[in-house]
């Protein structure tokens, strides 16, 4: 057990501050906030919505939520990024426990109670559970399936479940506010993957990050190929940046998608060279390069048969599209982020 910074810090009734960064998400934020207000929790509660510059009606929607319930406060997040919004909410929080919430997530009614009990029981700085992805359309169900299988996002406990215990990072997170203040809050230069980086600092300063499958948060996946690809590219981009900044703290699973992308691209180019050789009448030995994309396509087909069987033809069909979309977008982003191109690409994409 690591050093304890707070042996008797939390005592009933324990107040909780929910912090939710929001930007252009009018279709999901109401359900997310309502899932918070519906919590079965006895302690004091506040909901802090850090609102970025939105043009889709989100501002009017959250203003209405705040007007209807005094527990809801809207804070201005001029920067608009997730870490900036989180830090604005944390600084404004008045309770000793901070619960990070995503506008795409919906909490089960016992989430806060279970999380706070786990914080007290384990002495952890941060506890979290399973990102329970659930889709409503065949495409969203295919994305949810990819999220929750090892072939999709790498098999982390918070995606596929696992035994309770210490981990590297968790989904969202329920924090002791004092622990967040101890390590200096979220790093606002990291637009995605900031939770992993923060949990790294918590662990490096003797804190405990704890996973429990008793916590499961319903997550709504992106609803189109374009939105999924943009999400995965951005996530991979910042994962590559983190791998470059902290080379000793990254497992091999982070490098599999970028290695696949590089292998498929190089193999395809080599195979095209073989076609040129064939046209020139030379020995087309470079055609062997086509083995790389063919092996990957075979992997996708087998993965679909294994994981999408019995899910319906439409979901299985979309899984054939979703899996390469995740791998290629994430892997490409990772390569560019690892090559220190993060800031230039982010400035052109506006995030």
Domain edges within the chain: 16-220, 249-349
pLDDT at 256 over 80: yes
The beta strands (E) that lie in the chain are given as: 16-22, 45-51, 72-76, 97-100, 105-106, 126-133, 165-166, 174-176, 209-219
DSSP bridge partners of 45: 16
pLDDT at 162 over 50: yes
Measured CA to CA, the distance from residue 50 to residue 266 in angstroms comes to 44
Which whole-number Å values give the CA distances from 84 to 19, 93, 187, in the listed order?
A: 11, 14, 8
pLDDT of residue 54: 83
- Which are the contacts of 117, defined by CB distance < 8 A and separation ≥ 6? none
pLDDT of residue 27: 80
Chain segment 30-65, per-residue pLDDT in tens: 888 898 999 999 889 999 999 888 888 888 888 888
The count of other CB atoms within 10 Å of the CB of residue 110 is 14
Write down the CATH number for the domain with range 16-220: 3.90.550.10
Of 261, 197, 236, the C-alpha closest to 338 is: 236
Look up residue 120 and give its two tokens.
């007290």
Name the band, by pLDDT with cuts 50, 70 and 90, for residue 202.
very high
Of 223, 257, 284, the C-alpha closest to 338 is: 257
Tokens 């900031």, located at residue: 194
Cα within 13 Å of Cα(56), Cβ side = 11
DSSP state of 127: E
Measured CA to CA, the distance from residue 216 to residue 238 in angstroms comes to 25
pLDDT at 211 over 70: yes
- Which are the contacts of 272, defined by CB distance < 8 A and separation ≥ 6? 289
Chain segment 173-195, per-residue pLDDT in tens: 999 999 999 999 999 988 888 89
Look up residue 298 and give its two tokens.
């075979």
Backbone angles phi, psi at 343, to 5 degrees: -65, -40
The sign one gets for the Cα dihedral 89, 235, 37, 12 is negative
Of 78, 132, 126, the C-alpha closest to 104 is: 132
Name the band, by pLDDT with cuts 50, 70 and 90, for residue 348.
very low
DSSP bridge partners of 51: 22, 76
pLDDT at 276 over 60: yes
Burial of 28 by CB count in 10 Å (0-12 exposed, 13-18 middle, 19+ buried)? middle
Name the band, by pLDDT with cuts 50, 70 and 90, for residue 132.
confident
State CA 61 to chain mean position distance.
Answer: 24
pLDDT at 272 over 80: yes
The count of other CB atoms within 10 Å of the CB of residue 287 is 16
CB 99 within 8 A of CB 16: yes
């Amino acid at each position: 057990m690591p050093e304890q910074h707070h042996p008797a810090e939390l005592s009933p009734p324990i107040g909780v501050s929910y912090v939710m960064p929001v930007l252009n998400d009018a279709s999901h934020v109401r359900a997310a906030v309502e899932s918070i207000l519906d919590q079965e929790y006895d302690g004091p509660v506040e909901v802090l919505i850090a609102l970025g510059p939105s043009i889709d009606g989100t501002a009017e929607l959250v203003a209405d939520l705040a007007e209807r319930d005094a527990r809801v406060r809207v804070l201005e997040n001029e920067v608009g990024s997730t870490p900036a919004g989180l830090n604005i909410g944390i600084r404004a929080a008045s309770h000793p426990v901070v619960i990070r919430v995503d506008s795409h997530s919906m909490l089960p009614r016992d989430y806060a109670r279970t999380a706070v009990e786990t914080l007290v029981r384990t002495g952890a700085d941060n506890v979290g559970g399973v990102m329970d992805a659930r889709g409503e359309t065949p495409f969203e169900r295919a994305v949810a399936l990819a999220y929750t299988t090892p072939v999709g996002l790498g098999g982390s406990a918070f995606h596929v479940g696992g035994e309770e215990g210490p981990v590297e990072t968790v989904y969202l997170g329920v924090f002791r506010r004092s622990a967040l203040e101890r390590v200096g809050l979220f790093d606002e230069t990291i637009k995605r993957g900031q939770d992993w980086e923060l949990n790294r600092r918590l662990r490096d300063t003797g804190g405990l990050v704890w996973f429990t499958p008793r916590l499961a948060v319903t997550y709504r996946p992106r609803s189109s190929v374009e939105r999924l690809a943009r999400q995965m590219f951005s996530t991979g981009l910042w994962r590559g940046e983190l791998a470059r900044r902290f080379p000793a703290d990254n497992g091999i699973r982070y490098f599999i998608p970028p290695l696949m992308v590089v292998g498929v691209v190089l193999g395809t180019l080599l195979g095209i060279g073989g076609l040129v050789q064939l046209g020139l009448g030379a020995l087309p030995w470079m055609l062997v390069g086509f083995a790389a994309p063919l092996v990957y396509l075979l992997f996708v087909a087998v993965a679909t048969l294994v994981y999408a069987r019995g899910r319906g033809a439409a979901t299985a069909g979309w899984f054939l599209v979703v899996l390469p979309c995740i791998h290629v977008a994430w892997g490409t982003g990772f390569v560019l982020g690892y090559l220190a191109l993060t800031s230039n690409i982010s400035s052109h994409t506006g995030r």
